[in-house]
Amino acid sequence: MRWGPWILPVCLFFLAVAPARAQQAQIAESVPADWEQRADQLRAWLSEDSEWKAWYEKFRNRPERGWAGYEDRRKRPEPPLWLEAECASLLDAEGLLGAACDLLQELKTGIPAKPPPQPYREEPPKTIWWEHVHLDALWPMAQWQSNVYGVVGVHATITVKGRFQLFVAPGAILLNLPNGRSRDWQPATDWGVAFRLTDFRFPGTGQWVSLHFNFAEAWLLTGQPAMAKSKIELAGFSFTFKRDPR
């Protein structure tokens, strides 16, 4: 048998197959038979990669200074050799193996397999203008044993922080107050603060409302009765319409 024409193709075949077989043998030797050992490898790799990411975020745009000058750039830790074949054989991995497969996918594509979770931030609820318009009712004078009442009124507020609100402009309120012989109805303007107490569905309707407690000072818009002061302190409740919170 003449080997002359076949020597070169055979040699090229073995040269091509030998590295692949050597890599497979290396992978086979690196795969621990026990899952606990493989889990330890994954934990160590994930921890080292996390440390490398922290270092990279700090020094990616500038050199790292050491004791004797500048340190060499760190190389990203290599995954276990057996991991790629393990991830390829699974449709959906979870837990420790799932995290390792996700990181391996990130190394291969440069895109995280799963977006990082965003920190939770409580956003203040968005409101529209008519949710800040208050309808006033049951406003007695704040001083003890007074006979001044705010019967009905309206004002608008802006939220300062949380449940606390401030009158955005002077409101209007209709007062019932003594004049020495009987009682008068007098229009007044008021300004103050409000505190939202609770939200509830108005009985008999499907409309949601917010109940507020208000403290305000009122000034009469017409002639001052003999028994009334020029500035009247009032406290009472108001309602605002609210969208369905569901």
Q: What is the 3-state secondary structure (H, E, C) of the chain?
A: CCCHHHHHHHHHHHHHHHHHHHHHHHHHHHCCCCHHHHHHHHHHHHHHHHHHHHHHHHHCCCCCEECCEECCCCCCCCCCCCHHHHHHCCCCCCHHHHHHHHHHHHHHHCCCCCCCCCCCCCCCCCCCHHHHEEEEEEEEECCCCCCCEEEEEEEEEEEEECCEEEECCCEEEEEEEECCCCEEEEEEEEEEEEEEEEEEECCCCCCEEEEEEEEEEEEECCCCCCCCCCEEEEEEEEEEEECCCC
Given the structure tokens 């889990």, which residue do they identify?
A: 39
Residue extents of the structural domains in the chain:
31-109, 129-242
Give residue 148's pLDDT. 82
pLDDT of 184: 83
Burial of 234 (0-12, 13-18, 19+ CB in 10 A): buried
Burial of 100 (0-12, 13-18, 19+ CB in 10 A): buried
**What is the maximum span of the chain, computed from C-alpha positions, in angstroms?**
139
Cα–Cα distances in Å, from 180 out to 97, 119, 174, 226? 87, 64, 19, 7
Q: What is the pLDDT of residue 221?
A: 82
pLDDT for 226: 45
Please give the pLDDT value at position 17: 47
For residue 189, what are the β-bridge partners? 172, 219
Q: Could you state, in chain order, the average pLDDT of each consecutive group of 10 residues for the chain (246 residues)?
A: 53 51 49 71 89 82 63 82 82 75 84 56 65 89 70 93 92 85 87 93 85 92 61 90 75
